[in-house]
């Protein structure tokens, strides 16, 4: 039940929603042409279920990518919990592999540090390897020239 406090200010909507609005506005022929089933129950006009032709002029992709398969590890969380089998290592082989000798003062024979791709660690940390055209590198170059006569120390 609808209670209205002041009856003078209320006007019911025109047309009323209880009326047949399709007939009132002459939309029945359009509704019949778009009906999915005929009045006798047979299938009517097959409508496209896609808006693809309506959005083709818009930029972007107009097709949904196919679904990717779900990895087996996600479907079965217990799959990755199979125990790793640890095989025993031959103790003699392990002893030979981990036998180290102290490096001599001359270093490793046949190994040349110049073949490495970077400068020595000390120069790298100081930042002396700044570009040649840079003013901030001039002082570092002078320092390098002064230290050039001093022999390099071997780390043991």
Q: What pLDDT sits at residue 47? A: 63
CA dihedral 51, 55, 60, 65 (to 10 degrees): 10
Number of independent structural domains in the chain: 1
Residue with tokens 């990717």: 68
Residue at 63 is within a domain:
no
Cα distance from N-terminal residue to C-terminal residue, the chain:
99
Residue at 107 is within a domain:
no
CA distance 131 to 127: 10
Task: Write the pLDDT tens digit of every residue in 40-99.
Answer: 878 776 666 677 777 788 888 777 788 999 887 788 877 767 677 888 889 999 888 888
Residue at 135 is within a domain:
yes
CA distance 50 to 52: 5
Q: Please, which pLDDT band fits residue 24 given cuts at 50, 70 and 90?
A: very high
Residue at 103 is within a domain:
no
Residue at 121 is within a domain:
yes
Residue at 83 is within a domain:
no
Q: What pLDDT sits at residue 103? A: 80
Domain interval for residue 140? 113-147
Residue at 143 is within a domain:
yes
Task: Write the pLDDT tens digit of every residue in 100-127.
Answer: 888 888 888 888 777 776 655 555 555 5
3-class state of residue 122 by DSSP: helix
Q: How many CB atoms are located within 10 Å of the residue 18 CB? A: 6
> Is the pLDDT at 136 greater than 60, yes or no?
no
Identify the H or E element spanning 143: helix 138-147
Token pair belonging to 143: 């320092």
CA distance 39 to 32: 9
Among 41, 151, 156, 26, CA closest to 104: 156
Token pair belonging to 101: 């000798």
CA distance 55 to 64: 13
Residue at 46 is within a domain:
no
CA 29 to chain CA mean position, Å: 52
Least confident of 2-16, 29-43, 60-74, 142-156: 142-156
Q: What pLDDT sits at residue 21? A: 92
Q: What pLDDT sits at residue 133? A: 47
Q: What pLDDT sits at residue 121? A: 58
């Amino acid at each position: 039940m609808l209670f209205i406090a002041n009856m003078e200010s209320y006007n019911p909507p025109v047309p009323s929603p209880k009326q047949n609005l399709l007939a009132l506005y002459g939309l029945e022929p359009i509704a019949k042409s778009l009906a999915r089933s005929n009045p006798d129950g047979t299938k009517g006009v097959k409508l496209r279920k896609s808006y693809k032709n309506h959005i083709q002029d818009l930029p972007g992709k107009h097709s949904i990518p196919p679904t990717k398969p779900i990895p087996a590890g996600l479907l079965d969380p217990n799959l990755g919990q199979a125990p790793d089998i640890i095989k025993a290592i031959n103790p003699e082989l392990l002893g030979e592999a981990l036998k180290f000798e102290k490096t001599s003062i001359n270093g490793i024979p046949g190994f040349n540090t110049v073949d490495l791709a970077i400068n020595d660690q000390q120069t790298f940390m100081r930042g002396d390897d700044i570009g040649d055209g840079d003013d901030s590198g001039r002082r570092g170059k002078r320092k390098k020239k002064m230290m050039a006569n001093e022999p390099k120390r071997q780390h043991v």
